[in-house]
């Protein structure tokens, strides 16, 4: 199976306490061949970027960086393992580690959102 991440939007649902991504953070994914990238923002994140390579079983080996509202530049690495939900959306189970600051690690889950439905519900600006 080959998952297509191109033009998908993801929303954070679960994150470790030492993470900065939250429920208001949205990720806008793009893909070309086995290269995936995204911009993200929302919640405590002013602007962030990630760059990933698709590896075995459609997992993403990624690096990320962002600026938070405290003005700090934060960087890290992440391994995201995809799950296809019954409705066809993608859920990413992520294990990450900061490469700046305290170098701690954590886990998170982000899920694909269907923007048309998200906009209609009034949850998307």
- Domain 8-120 belongs to what topology? Lipocalin (2.40.128)
With a cut of 70, say whether residue 96 has pLDDT above it.
yes
Handedness of CA 28, 48, 63, 124 (dihedral sign): negative
Q: Is 119 helix (H, G, I), strand (E, B) or coil?
A: helix
- Average pLDDT (104-121) is 79
Q: Taking 60 as the threshold, does the pLDDT of residue 46 lie above it?
A: yes
pLDDT at 1 over 60: no
pLDDT value, residue 125? 42
pLDDT of res. 29:
98
The position carrying tokens 């066809």 is 88
Is residue 57 helix, strand or coil? helix
**pLDDT in the model for residue 124:** 45
pLDDT of residue 24: 95
């Amino acid at each position: 199976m080959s998952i297509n991440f191109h033009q998908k939007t993801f929303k954070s649902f679960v994150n470790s306490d030492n993470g900065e991504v939250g429920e208001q953070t949205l990720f806008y994914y793009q893909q070309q061949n086995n290269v995936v990238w995204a911009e993200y923002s929302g919640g405590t994140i002013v602007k962030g970027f990630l760059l990933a390579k698709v590896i075995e079983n459609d997992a993403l080996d990624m690096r990320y960086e962002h600026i938070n509202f405290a003005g700090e530049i934060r960087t890290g690495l992440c391994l995201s393992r995809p799950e296809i939900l019954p409705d066809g959306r993608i859920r990413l189970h992520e294990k990450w580690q900061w490469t700046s600051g305290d170098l701690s690690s954590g886990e998170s889950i982000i899920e694909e959102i269907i923007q048309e439905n998200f906009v209609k519900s009034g949850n998307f600006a």
